[in-house]
Amino acid sequence: MKPRKVLVVDDSKLLHRMYEVMLRQVVLLHAYDGQAGLELLRKSSDIDLVLLDLNMPVMSGLEFLAVAKADAQLAKVPVIIVTTEGSEAQTKRGLEAGAIAYLTKPFDGTRLANVIARLETP
């Protein structure tokens, strides 16, 4: 299924703006740390996908994943990790924690679309 509502959890305003440009056809919800992301995820039950950064203040991406995957309702929402290159260990831990895919920065619209398209086809 093509995602219609996507939650972006990233502390970089630049990346939020980038997602707005790249994902014009979907509704975006914005959170700037893991804690705010979890609150939004709990409030909006119709979120189809989460784009998650790992290094964030207040609550990191890995902590976000741990909490989200422990909750039966939140665990259903697929999570894509967006990381900087060179943090393979963290990415591996993120995938083990329940993320279904990862994307390394810098990335372009085509790569993002390809990763999302792979989720659409089971």
Partner 1 sequence: MKEELPPRLTTALDELRLTLDRAAELAKQIESQPKPGSPETAAELQSRLADVESDRLELSARLADYEHQVGRLMNLYVATYQLHATLDPAEVQSTIAEIAINLLGAERFVLLFWKENATQCEIALSQGLAQTRAANTAAASMRAATPWWTRRSRTASCAWARSTAPTPWPPFR
Q: Which helix (H) or strand (E) is 100 found in, with range?
A: none
Phi/psi for 47 (5° steps) reads -75, 130
**Residues 10 to 39 in contact with partner 1, rule: CB under 8 A:** 12-15, 17-18, 21-22
Write down the least CB distance from residue 45 to partner 1, Å. Answer: 30
Check binding of 42 to partner 1 (CB under 8 A): no
Do strands 101-105 and 5-9 pair parallel, antiparallel, or not at all (unpaired)? unpaired
Around 57, how many Cα atoms within 13 Å sit in the side-chain half-sphere? 3
Distance CA 113, CA 103 (A): 11
Near partner 1 in 76-105, by CB under 8 A: 84-86, 105
Output 15 or 29, the one with its CB closest to partner 1.
Answer: 15
Tell whether residue 119 is a contact of partner 1 (CB under 8 A).
no
List contacts with partner 1 (CB under 8 A). 12-15, 17-18, 21-22, 84-86, 105-106, 108-110
